Amino acid sequence: MNTTIALGAEQAARIADGVYLLRQANRWDVIKSRGQKGINDSLKISGQFSMESSNRFGGSSGGNLSRSESGFGYIAEGVEDRKHELLIGIRGTITGADWVTDFQQTLHRGPSGFAVHRGFLRTFDSFEPALRDYLRKAHKNPTIVHIVGHSLGGALATITADYLRVRGLAVKLYTFGSPRVGVDSFSEQLSNQVGAENMFRVSNQSDPVTMLPIFPFIHVPNNSAQYMIPSWGGVNFCNHFLERYIESCSRKDWKNLEARVNGSWSEQAMAWLESASASGGAVQIYSAKALWMIMKCLNHILRSAAGDTYVAAGETIMGFATVVDHLTMILHRGILESQKIKNSATKLISVIMKFLGRNFVAGTNLTVSFIRWVLDLLFRALSTMAYQALRLANM
């Protein structure tokens, strides 16, 4: 069991913020001109870590026709009480090319062999040689590697944690506003390998980026503590901004941020569904709470419908079938095979329609085409909100 002291919540958030300074070469040149202390102060790591200017690494992101090169992160070495520790900071989404990466929802095998988001993996692969070369040349045997990232940087930090565990290194992972990275099996094995107690995923309940990509992707760690910032108003693009995360983590320790629930999240969500779908049940249009609960309910119902094939279903999505098509097939098959699933799916569809500000007529036949239409409306709305959050974060 790793007993290394974790970074503080506010400290990790400020480190995630500092990484953005490395993106542009001309800005980095200005920071380098301030000397070692200036570099460490700018990156918010003074007193615990120190970064040599040569340990900035670049990478590329975007689609095949729009991949762009830029500074993506750095490696810093521990000093004083953190001697023999390493820190890897990875920046988040900040350029237009990165938006394409965030929404390419295809799968590929990650460092440990489990399926992850192909777009995220391609960006990781672009800077992996820098990590490999550092570890080979530096002859370091760190007691722990702290890995920090916000937004896309959180996704890349997660894959980096997987990569370093394969190499036998102990890690602590800190992410803020991260999208989902891999499928169920990836989440399970990484949670086991790293240890859920060494994974600090901070999310805002109304940050739409944290709700993507949709099935078959899920968050890490699985079935463990979540560090959640309460925000049950409407879905708010601004709550993806790192400044909001820093503010919410200010003067708080991890226990203050830990979300607790009576029973499981699925049980809580399904109880909410019963109330929201009842006659007269109110669902606020584009409410963050409603969206969060809808996604939990959908995941629960899909698991019930797919049974033992749930994980396999996620890992076999191919180019000829969209994610929505796949979800529709699983859900419709479950409706045909189980009255209980049919009842739950009917309630969920009615609540989704309320969330979108549309009417649902009781007794509507849940055909394949109707289910697909409703899910497509939901996921297009969610993707649009997340896209706007990423776009506004760059302004």
Q: Which residues pair with 172 in a beta bridge?
A: 146
Alpha-carbon distance of 279 to 350, in angstroms, equals: 11
**Contact between 79 and 5 (Cβ < 8 Å):** no
Residue count of the chain, please give it: 395
Q: How far apart are alpha carbons 84 and 240 in whole angstroms? A: 33
Residue 227 bridge partners (DSSP): 202, 258
- The percent of the chain in helix, strand and coil, each rounded to the nearest 5, is 55, 15, 30
Find the catalytic residue in 151, 191, 248, 277. 151
Q: 280-283: list long-range contacts, CB under 8 Å, 24+ apart.
A: 281/351, 281/354, 283/351, 283/354, 283/355
Contact 72, 22 (CB under 8 A): yes
What pairs with residue 86 in β-bridges? 77, 145
Residue by residue, DSSP assigns 109-133 as: E-TTSSEEEHHHHHHHHHHHHHHHH
Structural contact between residues 18 and 45, judged by C-beta atoms closer than 8 angstroms: yes
Active site residue 253: no
* 136 within 8 A of 244, measured Cβ to Cβ: no
Structure tokens of 185?
């099996």
CB 80 within 8 A of CB 54: no
Is 151 annotated as catalytic?
A: yes
Report how far residue 346's alpha carbon sits from residue 344's, in angstroms, rounded to the nearest whole number.
5
CA dihedral 315, 321, 325, 329 (to 10 degrees): -60
Other beta carbons less than 10 A from residue 92's beta carbon: 31
Which string of b and e fits 135-154 if b means at least 16 CB within 10 Å?
beeeeeebebbbbbbbbbbb
Q: How far apart are CA 134 and CA 167, in angstroms?
A: 13
> Of residues 102, 162, 184, 207, which has the active-site annotation?
207
Which of the residues are catalytic? 151, 207
